[in-house]
Amino acid sequence: MDIGCRLPFDPLMTSPYSSIFPLTRPMGVSNDLFFSIPQSPFLSQLIHALPSFAHGYGTKYPTVMLSTGPFFVDIQYAFFTENQDTIGLLHDELYGGPKGFVYHVHGSSWHEEDALFILWLGRHFDLILFSIWIVILVLCSIGIAIRWRFCRIGRGWILRKSPTISAENHHTLNNA
């Protein structure tokens, strides 16, 4: 894992919570460190939900995040209906702050180029969304202009008198 122990965990082991998980940014509830009593309802939910989330999600980063990683735990925490008050959440100051129980080391062994791209998308989401809206507006404008032009031409065709075939001009059409 990507953490090291700084302080003894004794105060956490005697807490009134059935499970303790850290809060992390940007995800929410993480699973690189957690504590649980035997038969904890939340841990039981996590274990039973694993088969439902055990899929490949295209690349390594989303597969880890969604199948067993922090996003999976965060989703399960959101779905946990029994009693979220039984789950203790370690905030920054206790999780990785200067006086926290653990310190973070550079690791992220499962992060590859796909993670960098996904994180880049997250950091630039507003710009990407704005760009998509601009492209949609431009394409709609082009579509409206083309449709307007063809409708004008079409109306001209409809209003223009078409040649009719009659007995008098039938022979001229055959000779043409």
pLDDT at 169 over 80: no
Structure tokens at 151: 């409708």
- Taking only the tens place, the pLDDT of each residue in 105-142 is 776 555 666 666 667 777 888 888 888 999 999 898 88
- Taking only the tens place, the pLDDT of each residue in 12-28 is 888 899 999 998 876 68
Q: What are phi and psi of 20, to 5 degrees?
A: -130, 130
Task: For tokens 């039938």, name the residue.
Answer: 170
So what's the pLDDT on residue 152? Answer: 59
Task: For tokens 């993670």, name the residue.
Answer: 115
Q: What is the rounded CA–CA span in Å between residue 92 and residue 77?
A: 18
If one compares 35 and 83, the residue with the highest pLDDT of the two is 35
Q: What are phi and psi of 46, to 5 degrees?
A: -60, -50
Q: Is pTM beyond 0.75 here?
A: no
Q: What is the rounded CA–CA span in Å between residue 23 and residue 91?
A: 6
Task: Please state the domain extents for the chain.
Answer: 3-123, 124-162
If one compares 62 and 113, the residue with the highest pLDDT of the two is 62
